[in-house]
């Protein structure tokens, strides 16, 4: 896995486009040929991408309002994994976050849609799995 390429693929919301189930047919949310559903102009484009562009932020991890509770951070409609990934980036940096993800991938802990970081119930549980490779 090319860590530098993966780091560059981190979306504004904290998802890792290069590890997405659509990665083979999509060039990531920061590009024009994105296949991400939230990127669709039909839905007005991605709230997080638009918000970060307006605030001149690299991602939500730089925002003073994080977690805003909107879109990807609305835990009624999205798993806590997304907010936990942003929190990890904020606390540890993008390089360390990706190092943890890649190391865990090498040990069979899968990142992505309906994979090992989903449905853990809390930010703390996701962060523990990310940072240690062990579930609570």
Q: Domain-by-domain residue ranges, the chain?
A: 3-132
pTM of the model: 0.87
Whether 13 has a pLDDT exceeding 80, the answer reads yes
pLDDT category at 2 given cuts 50, 70, 90 is confident
pLDDT at 117 (0 to 100): 92
pLDDT digits (tens, 9 = 90+) for 27-69: 777 766 666 666 555 555 678 888 998 999 999 999 999 999 8
Quickly tell me which residue has 């991602």 as its tokens. Answer: 59
């Amino acid at each position: 896995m090319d860590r530098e390429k993966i780091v560059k693929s981190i979306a504004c919301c904290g998802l890792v486009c290069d590890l997405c189930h659509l990665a083979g047919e999509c060039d990531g949310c920061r590009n024009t040929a994105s296949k991400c559903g939230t990127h669709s102009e039909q839905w007005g484009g991605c709230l997080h991408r638009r918000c970060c562009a307006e605030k001149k932020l690299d991602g939500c991890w730089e925002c003073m309002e994080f977690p805003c509770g909107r879109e990807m951070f609305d835990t009624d409609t999205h798993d806590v994994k997304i907010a936990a990934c942003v929190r990890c980036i904020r606390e540890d940096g993008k390089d360390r976050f990706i190092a943890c993800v890649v190391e865990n991938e090498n040990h069979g802990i899968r990142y992505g849609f309906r994979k090992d970081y989903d449905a853990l119930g809390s930010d703390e549980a996701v962060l523990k799995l990310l940072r240690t490779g062990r579930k609570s």
